[in-house]
Amino acid sequence: MAKRLNTVIIVPHSKANFIKFSFSSRTFFGVAALGVLTFVLSLMAIGFTGNAVDRRAEVDHLQEENRELQQANDLLEQTILEVQERLDDFEERTARLALGAGIEPESTGVTAGDGGSHSVSVGGPFDRLPEDPESLKYQGDWIAEKLLEVEQTLTAQGERFACTPSIAPVVGLITDGFGRRRDPINGRMAFHRGLDLSGRRGTPIMAPADGVVVFAARNGGMGRMVKISHGFGFTTAYGHLDKILVEPGQEVHRGDEIGHLGNTGRSTGPHLHYEVSKDGKHVNPLYYILDAY
């Protein structure tokens, strides 16, 4: 069987000669298949090249984000470390304040978010909390709670001190002390419930602590008398005054002038009879005079 040929004739317009190509059908289809294959491979190459470029750009972007996140993480770790160091310092200072305020040095459990417990001891060794935001929060809460306790304790102590007799109402010669003695008028043995301080008539009498005047008038053998309730169970009384400068219901503060030393009532000479009571029981006033004697 004769081989079947295909002929292509090209006739140029500018020349009389023409060009003729003859090829078999098998050659034609082979060339055509090769061309299609080349075209498809070219498209695939272009696609892969584009995808590679896109992936490279995405990788570069992710690497840049990773660098930024690493920098942010380093900054966060440094900040947490600095905050932890400051909290540790605050914790130690708070513990010392607590001891100074008289708060018992008991351990306070600070529970972390993982259910564990970190023991923070007041005034003693303590376990350093892990450096993470959750633990910092719990440590900060403990410090705030302890500072509030210290503040409340110191405030209460300040109020108690302000209301505790601590200064001499008048500086003078002690002529009679607290306890049993022989009465200077009738000579009989009797219990003396206060302290007698002699001095010049008209000498100012000072309140030894903050309080409220509950009595200011004559009171039999005590003559002109002032009585002050200081709170916390403390009451003071001042007898034989020459002059009273306060009235019932008036608030007074330590050092305020409440009257003048005198010789009124059952008295043998100018002096102040000074009494201190704690929870309704008379006590020695000398125990509550810190600035004299």
Per-residue pLDDT of 21-56, as tens digits, reads 666 767 767 777 787 788 777 777 777 776 766 777
Per-residue pLDDT of 60-83, as tens digits, reads 788 888 888 888 888 877 777 777
Of 195, 165, 200, 197, the closest CA to residue 179 belongs to 195
Spatial distance between the Cα atoms of 176 and 169, rounded to a whole number of angstroms: 16
CATH of the domain spanning 173-288: 2.70.70.10
pTM confidence score = 0.58
SS3 130: coil
Evaluate whether 258 touches 209 at the Cβ level (below 8 Å).
no
Per-residue pLDDT of 216-260, as tens digits, reads 999 999 999 999 999 999 999 999 999 999 999 999 999 999 999
As given in the structure block, the two tokens for residue 135 are 């633990």
Give burial (CB, 10 Å; 0-12/13-18/19+) of 196. buried
At 120 the pLDDT is 43
- First-to-last CA distance in the chain? 149
Spatial distance between the Cα atoms of 74 and 22, rounded to a whole number of angstroms: 76
